[in-house]
Amino acid sequence: MVWTMNDYPSSMKNLEKPVLKKAIDIANSMLDDGYQEGRAIPIAIEQAKEWYNNADKEEIRSYEKSGKPTQRSKEGKEKTNNPERLEEGEEVYSHEEGWAVASTGSSQASEIFKNKEEAVKRAAEIAKNKGTSLTIYRADGAIEDKRNY
């Protein structure tokens, strides 16, 4: 299913227009990358909201004026960054409830896992989807590993 501004999942119906457009773009790209619809939709919504909260007004205006998300990206098949995706990398770091997964520079974790291995697996999945990087920290805050996707 290719989603457009006129035909999109009902879970996106209450999103503001620029967030909706970004969520549709991200979800379509995720489908190109092999994600199941049920997983792509909530991830795309979360990432679109995060983009909107971190973007300046000019970036949002410029994005709104760009083309409509009516086709799925052919770039999803290549190993190049898709400009429609978020550019922030992912991080895995120690959290009071376990191990956190968050976008670089975000003020809060998007997900928290009991064990580090699960957190790294999830963060790598997100970073691969976005074509960005992953930084893994030790419990003491030192960098353990950096990966680029």
Give the C-alpha separation, 96 to 76, whole Å.
36
Q: For residue 7, give every residue at least 6 positions away whose Cβ sits within 8 Å of its Cβ, in sequence order, or none.
A: none
Give the C-alpha separation, 12 to 40, whole Å.
12
Task: Give the pLDDT of residue 1.
Answer: 63
CA dihedral 31, 37, 43, 44 (to 10 degrees): 60
Mind listing the pLDDT tens digit for each residue in 15-50?
A: 999 999 999 988 888 877 777 788 888 999 999 999
Mind listing the pLDDT tens digit for each residue in 44-86?
A: 999 999 999 998 988 888 887 776 665 544 443 443 444 433 5
All structural domains of the chain with their residue ranges: 11-67, 90-148
Instruction: Indicate whether this model's pTM tops 0.75.
Output: no
Whether 57 and 72 have beta carbons less than 8 Å apart is answered as no
